[in-house]
Amino acid sequence: MLPPYLRAYRTAFEQVSASLESLTLGLSDEQFNWAPEPTTWSVGQGVVHLNKASEALLPNIEKAVRHARTYGPFGRGPFTYGPLSRLFIWSVRPSSPRLPAPAPYRPPASAVDRGATLHTFRTLQERWITSVEEAEGIDLRTLKAASQAAPLVRLRVGTWFEATPLHQLRHVEQAQRVLLAHGFPVGAAH
């Protein structure tokens, strides 16, 4: 049985997955790729952005956790994080001011494949959840990892576990706004 702090991380990933699944269930390709304005992302572009962010970070998280399971650092949480971690977590929350996505995380301007995009998201979420579960007994306050897109930004793994589902929720809420926007195509879903 996972300790409460790891259960909270796992639950956050599971809730985002369920929310996105519910939100996209039955959307047609046209609806998945529709954006209210040229400067606003479609639902699909938001999911691609989340996939790109996970693809750039998750391999390093998995590698760090695997290494730490054998060599440490070991520790029991819950853990507290310093000002830089707290600022980063705050900056990706749904209610925080919008920041432009770094270039490696930007989705293509063209339509994206709905089925493949959502399949990739689900697969990445399963990997996030596995990493959280495998982090039991590891000192998440000491263990660090960087995204491949920004290798100089090394944050605590616990910070990533807390910030990532918040960032994902931010884009789920953005997708909800797209579905409610004026002009959203209401044709038959697939």
Return the half-sphere exposure (C-beta side, CA atoms, 13 A cut-off) of residue 72.
4
* The pLDDT value given to residue 190: 47
Q: How many residues does the chain have?
A: 190
Give how far Cα 67 sits from Cα of 9, 19, 23, 89, Å.
20, 32, 36, 25
* The pLDDT value given to residue 135: 97
**4-180 CATH choice from 1.20.1070, 1.20.120, 2.40.160, 1.10.3470:** 1.20.120
Q: How confident is the model at residue 66 (pLDDT cuts 50, 70, 90)?
A: very high
Name the residue ranges covered by the structural domains of the chain. 4-180
* pLDDT tens digits for range 128-167: 999 999 999 999 999 999 988 788 889 999 999 999 999 9
Q: With a cut of 50, say whether residue 51 has pLDDT above it.
A: yes
* pLDDT tens digits for range 19-45: 999 999 999 999 999 999 999 999 999
* pLDDT tens digits for range 86-119: 999 999 999 999 888 888 899 999 999 999 999 9
